[in-house]
Amino acid sequence: MSDPISLATFLAEPARELNEFTVTPGVLGFTVFAALGAVVWILLRSMSGRLNRLDARRDERGD
């Protein structure tokens, strides 16, 4: 295995087994996607609350 050619063959071997039908996002992909969705939801709620407070202050001043 110290031969560079055999090392390249060893590293290239698993690449032939992978294709678009055998590679899936899996649990890690779902977890990352769900976390991004949760973060966006939290940010939208926060932004909505801040905008409502800004509108309430504007109404108090009479602008």
Return d(Cα 33, Cα 13) in angstroms, integer: 31
Q: Which of 1-5, 37-41, 46-50, 56-60 has the lowest mean pLDDT?
A: 1-5
Q: Is 3 helix (H, G, I), strand (E, B) or coil?
A: coil
Question: Which amino acid belongs to residue 5?
Answer: I
DSSP state of 24: -
pLDDT band, residue 57 (cuts 50/70/90): confident
